[in-house]
Structure 1
Amino acid sequence: MASTGSGSPVVLSQEEWDDLVEAAKADGEVIIYSGQPASEDVFSKFSEAYPEIDVSVVREPAGDLAIRMDQEIAANVAGADVSWSTQYAWVAQQGDAGSLAAFQYGPEIADAGWSEATHEDYFMQLLASPYVLAWHTELGEPVTDIEDLIAKAGDRPVGIAEPISQNGMHQLNAWVEAYGEDILAELADLNHQVIRSTVPLTQSLAAGETHFSVLTTPDVVGTMIAEGAPIDYVIPEENTTGFAYGPSVLANAGHPAAAQLFVNWLLSEDGQQVLADGLAPAAFPVLYDSTDGALDWDSIDAVDERDWPEERRNEFRALFDSYFLG
């Protein structure tokens, strides 16, 4: 993977690491801009490991957060300390502009292999999450893959997330490559409703307005299941794509040491288990022997934003629209 920017990750000595921890405690706070649903409670657990540091999470769609950080960077105003997103292109642009700080790894994190893991100078793929198929447990029925859903849905209503980003397009394209373009025609022939994003898509399922959901995410489904929604989901064994979240540290972070400590916590055994528990199902490129419940990293074909430039996205959206709006 090509690197961006000019600051490669730095491995700290034990003395330097101890100094960073003390500086982070003196910072007293870390502010995280997160594009991932359900991440607020997970990230707040950082304070259980470091009670001297308060955690503030701003949770909005990744594109909106990127615009907000662009404005803060341009005005040289401290806002986010850490960005948690899938936005490769934004990271590359801001990394090349010198707006992101190099990672600083503590000795234990470096020894675990994170400094050799696939990453860019200012970004790493830390957690991969798959797309899932979901159903209402009283109105739908269990399915195993997209072909099984199409066969079982009949006239029952199906919600399909609108592919407004490369993420959904990548999954639909994987099905087209596996089953042929007819898979789009078969989906369009269902009693379907195209819904703009995964949260309202899954809310519609939980309310019984739809009986099956296509292109939803396990973090959203899991949150609603925990709240008592009568829904369930499956990760198909084949042709499963998803998206890889990862952190970046802002160069103008108001709490720079706390930001670096937070990233190191994410990469630690304890932090990885918190992510595995709170954002399940999840996969990690570096897997500790003690990590319980993690998926195989290679089981998810995580989208690479750079493979989906605007021209390709426009072409695929036109293909989608020809079936669903034609």
Structure 2
Amino acid sequence: MNVSRAVIGVCAASLSVALLSSCGSAEPGEGDADEVTTDLVEAAIQEGQLTIYASTGESQIEAIVEGFREAYPEISTEYFRAAGTALFNRFASEAEAGAVMADVFMPNVQPSFVQDNSEWFSELTPELVPNSEAWPEEFRTDHTVQVTVESILLVYNTETVDQPPTTWPDVLDERYRGRVVLVDPNASPGYMSWYSVIRDQFGDEFLEALADLDPMWVDTAAVGAQQVATGGSDLAFPNYPSQTASLQASGAPIETVTDLDPTQGITTDVAITADAPNPHAARLFVDWLISEEGYDVMCEDPVFSATVEVEADCVELASNHVSPRWEIPDDEQQEILSLLGR
């Protein structure tokens, strides 16, 4: 699916006038009477605190928080990070008890959690968050904007593979028998989704052929990438840039194949909690995050693609990007596992 992306531009403007000012026809919030002004900045600073709940990668959330602290040092910004299920359980417990601690909620798995519990989150209107106005429909819901994508890729060892696969069917070559690392679909809903997407594209026979390669099964993409880096295997997939970047930076003999058809991408979503203890700080943070300044911070980590066109140095969004399937029926999951011999 080719994805059209809107353009976000941010002018250099004094905060004494506005946090952001319009400077082009594609400018988010242009003409909006309630665009972010110093009133919001002052109200957020008066609150003086911000708490973010996130399941996105540790390096990403640390960089984002540090960037916001630098922009607004008067606001004490903290975060709590946990894997998807643990994060959802903690937030749900607080919401049901009427004791929400989070101002901002940032999952990178199961974005349907927000929509399924929409009463716990604020609708992201241009009046609340001006930069959300131009956000492409493919990457937003009533209560979230999807700010970055981390796309599935294939990892290969440059010393053992002369001509790496350029399509998913290429991985079925007999030369890779016993030399492939696959991440178990039981490891997370994201991985199960990838096998479902691949099954729809290439049929049951493709999954059966993967099983026939006698692969090594692992529970994390990181282990798969490390196995390839040591030369113990030729290929590892499905994998993510965040699991390979540090290995490549260290000089490990690995490279990646990107933009495969299809390419599933995991999105990082951002939402404002309906009962945010610091609602102005939450609004200010979200608008900052989806501005050029916020994207400059997010894209310093060379593993994320932008969901809008920005000047920041993000990884290019895959031309064949598809969204994950988070709601896969149990019987379909069992079929996938059976086809893979799991």
Please give the per-residue CA displacement for 1:264-317, whole angstroms capped at 9, x wherever unaligned. 111101212322332524131x323x2334424753111253xx34x2xx2332
CA distance in structure 2 between the partners assigned to 1:121 and 1:172 by the alignment: 28
Q: Residue 80 of structure 2 aligns to a residue in which SS?
A: strand
Q: What residue in structure 2 maps to residue 318 of structure 1? A: 334
CA distance in structure 1 between the partners assigned to 2:246 and 2:128 by the alignment: 35
Q: What residue in structure 2 maps to residue 84 of structure 1? A: 106
Change (3 A) 1:30 1:275: same
Residue 72 of structure 2 is aligned to residue 50 of structure 1: yes
Change (3 A) 1:53 1:131: same
Q: What residue in structure 2 maps to residue 135 of structure 1? A: 156
Q: Residue 32 of structure 1 aligns to a residue in which SS?
A: strand
Q: Residue 238 of structure 2 aligns to a residue in which SS?
A: strand
Change (3 A) 1:115 1:198: closer
Q: What residue in structure 1 maps to residue 12 of structure 2? A: none
Change (3 A) 1:76 1:281: same
CA distance in structure 2 between the partners assigned to 1:195 and 1:115 by the alignment: 36
Deviation at 1:153, TM superposition (A): 5.0
Please give the per-residue CA displacement for 1:21-74, whole angstroms capped at 9, x wherever unaligned. 122223333222222223233313222222223432323211210011111112
Contact 2:180–2:234 (8 Å) recurs in 1: yes
Contact 1:205–1:231 (8 Å) recurs in 2: yes
CA distance in structure 2 between the partners assigned to 1:323 and 1:270 by the alignment: 46
Deviation at 1:182, TM superposition (A): 1.6
Query: 1:29 aligned to 49, 59, 62, which one?
Result: 49
Query: 2:141 aligned to 115, 120, 124, which one?
Result: 120
Please give the per-residue CA displacement for 1:95-143, whole angstroms capped at 9, x wherever unaligned. 1xx2112336579944972397752221122222211111234455643
Change (3 A) 1:77 1:168: same
Q: What residue in structure 2 maps to residue 93 of structure 1? A: 116
Q: What residue in structure 2 maps to residue 150 of structure 1? A: 172
User: Tell me, which stretches of 5 or more residues in structure 2 are unaligned?
Assistant: 1-28
Change (3 A) 1:129 1:23: same
**Identical-pair percentage:** 25
Contact 1:101–1:251 (8 Å) recurs in 2: yes
Residue 84 of structure 2 is aligned to residue 68 of structure 1: no
RMSD: 3.0
Change (3 A) 1:55 1:185: same
CA distance in structure 2 between the partners assigned to 1:220 and 1:54 by the alignment: 31
Change (3 A) 1:230 1:64: farther
Change (3 A) 1:119 1:194: same
Contact 1:33–1:82 (8 Å) recurs in 2: yes
Residue 215 of structure 2 is aligned to residue 192 of structure 1: yes
CA distance in structure 1 between the partners assigned to 2:340 and 2:54 by the alignment: 31
Change (3 A) 1:53 1:166: same
User: Tell me, which stretches of 5 or more residues in structure 1 are unaligned?
Assistant: 1-9
Change (3 A) 1:145 1:26: farther
Going by fraction, where is helix more abundant, 1 or 2? 1
**Pairing 1:112-261 to 2, within 5 Å after superposition:** 113-114=134-135, 118-140=139-161, 142-151=164-173, 154-164=176-186, 165-226=188-249, 229-261=252-284
Counterpart code for 2:324: V
CA distance in structure 1 between the partners assigned to 2:136 and 2:208 by the alignment: 45
Q: Residue 181 of structure 2 aligns to a residue in which SS?
A: strand
Counterpart code for 2:165: V
With structure 2 as the length reference, what TM-score do the two structures score? Answer: 0.77
Deviation at 1:91, TM superposition (A): 0.4
CA distance in structure 1 between the partners assigned to 2:137 and 2:322 by the alignment: 20
Q: Residue 280 of structure 2 aligns to a residue in which SS?
A: helix
Contact 1:205–1:211 (8 Å) recurs in 2: yes
Contact 2:155–2:239 (8 Å) recurs in 1: yes
Contact 2:128–2:283 (8 Å) recurs in 1: no
Residue 322 of structure 2 is aligned to residue 301 of structure 1: yes
Counterpart code for 2:183: A
Deviation at 1:318, TM superposition (A): 1.6
Q: Residue 101 of structure 1 aligns to a residue in which SS?
A: coil
**Which range moved further: 111-120 or 267-276?**
111-120
Residue 70 of structure 2 is aligned to residue 20 of structure 1: no
